[in-house]
Structure 1
């Protein structure tokens, strides 16, 4: 996996990690939608399934899944130590730390295999190079058992679509609810496709297939965030 750029990593450092979740509280409904999809899909897995959490951050989805599935085990992988520290604190406070392993680094750095499912939520869009993004998906596929589900969600839009400017406007209005200033929203719009990938939905789906997954099915869209379910071939 190609490491994210420095500006991206700065958003996940020791100064930012403790308040990261609070900054997006006004958009928590989207987070909850993603967690609902993961919960519904993983309900069919064995009770003691092992789940790979790529780009785990503060472990938000694990907090949901661990509470619902009391025997599941989780491998949380993230290049930001401070973000994983927050995830570990949550796990210890909420009583599921014994079912978690924490790995500072990238999926490709983890030797464990045989996972029964995986999530990658708002991670791969930081990889702006198509080859690097496909390699990231391939690193996940290589650690799953055949048939294991993957729920992937990212910022994604077809910028050639005539409706894209209106969609972007709506998204920027949503980000204003998080406290993002007008200047910040203007910068976000101007740099969309630089800090975040510009690949359209069909391109992302093709990357997943090329990485060893079945044809992805889009199951979620909220503003610029799209989510797909797929499975290791």
Structure 2
């Protein structure tokens, strides 16, 4: 879940990476829902499917998928070496490292193609420019076989909607469970458009279609997190 842009944000460096998985422990239920969707949607893939994990971070979704699909292989791509080190340690400890390859860098730099599916979980919202975000989705599409599914989840909301203010309050109340202070709440409000993209749902859907994917279907929402399933056109 590391941002795919350069440079890598400080939150994903060697000092913070080992504790990253625990920093949002209070919201792990949301993470588990994301992984459940990926597990369900990928259930019909070939038993030896190759899965591209874009912006893999610590590889949390791989730990779920590898357990339920013992023939799947995974290519974890992330610009943060320290985050991938954590992912590799998990894989070695849990016995599926031989089914993983780890690539420090960006999806656009990955030479492999023909993947059977991909995930991009809480990654593209770090790309605040529409052209850069579309290019990121295109880099994933270029590495998938035709018809291969992609599961995307990002912070995304329509700031012009009448209920935006209330939805933000709900989300900030959830983040308060992680220890966020009142000052942190105000800083988070200001982060939209700065650290996080402000593209609305229709914009994100259009970006994926422009990048070479079929019409995405929104399959979940948890606070400000929206998830879509799509497939390479």
TM-score range for the pair, normalised by the shorter chain length: over 0.9
Is the aligned partner of 1:41 residue 2:27? no
Aligned residues between the structures: 231
Q: CA-atom RMSD, angstroms?
A: 1.1
Deviations 1:97-138 (A, max 9, x none): 000000000000000000000000000000000000000000
SS of 2:12's equivalent in the other structure is: coil
Structure 1 equivalent of residue 5 of structure 2:
4
Q: Residues 98-137 of structure 1: matches in 2 within 5 Å?
A: 98-137=98-137
Structure 2 equivalent of residue 200 of structure 1:
200
Post-superposition offset of 1:5: 5.8
Q: How far apart are the structure 1 equivalents of 2:109 and 2:53?
A: 13
Structure 2 equivalent of residue 75 of structure 1:
75
Q: Residues 1-233 of structure 1: matches in 2 within 5 Å?
A: 4=5, 9-233=9-233
Post-superposition offset of 1:3: 5.2
SS of 1:153's equivalent in the other structure is: strand
Post-superposition offset of 1:191: 2.0
8 Å Cα contact 2:149-2:232 kept in structure 1: yes
Taking a change above 3 Å as real, the CA distance of residues 165 and 64 of structure 1, as seen in their structure-2 partners, is same
Taking a change above 3 Å as real, the CA distance of residues 134 and 70 of structure 1, as seen in their structure-2 partners, is same
Where does the alignment leave 5 or more consecutive residues of structure 1 unmatched? none
Taking a change above 3 Å as real, the CA distance of residues 62 and 3 of structure 1, as seen in their structure-2 partners, is closer
Post-superposition offset of 1:166: 0.4
Post-superposition offset of 1:184: 1.1
Where does the alignment leave 5 or more consecutive residues of structure 2 unmatched? none
Q: How far apart are the structure 1 equivalents of 2:91 and 2:176?
A: 31
Q: How far apart are the structure 1 equivalents of 2:6 and 2:163?
A: 29
8 Å Cα contact 2:57-2:87 kept in structure 1: yes
